[in-house]
Amino acid sequence: QVQLVESGGGLVQPGESLRLSCAASGSIFHINAMGWYRQAPGKERELVAVIRSGITNYADSVKGRFTISRDNAKNTLYLQMNSLKPEDTAVYYCNADIRGSSYYSHDYWGQGTQVTVSS
């Protein structure tokens, strides 16, 4: 019923910026929370940032550099990434906790978008 489509990944040099987008579509009654995760080669997937009821939380490694936001009218999630470092290189995944027609919410994932920070 719900699909998450990500965009905005790419190759950038250290210190540059990227803005990731995640558009949610389908049967959506309410989005409880949305977040960004990332997974580098050989490492576990980790939480980067999450937004719930307007409150944001960030991993210590990105705090002060990344900003998560939502456009509620478009059901779109953003991640503004500034001052990118090589260690930010990973596949970034959009995640959403969404309630549809029932009282129960369900966890959805995007397909992932590659972010590579290299000189």
Which residues in 61-74 are b (16+ Cβ under 10 Å) and which e?
ebeeebbbebeeee
Q: What is the mean pLDDT of the chain?
A: 95
pLDDT for 41 = 92
pLDDT, tens digit, 9 for 90 and up, residues 5-23: 999 999 999 999 999 999 9
pLDDT for 93 = 98
Please give the average pLDDT of every successive group of 10 residues along the chain, which has 119 residues.
94 98 93 96 96 96 98 94 98 95 90 97
Q: What DSSP string describes 69-119?
A: EEETTTTEEEEEE-S--GGG-EEEEEEEEEE-SSSSEEEEE---EEEEE--
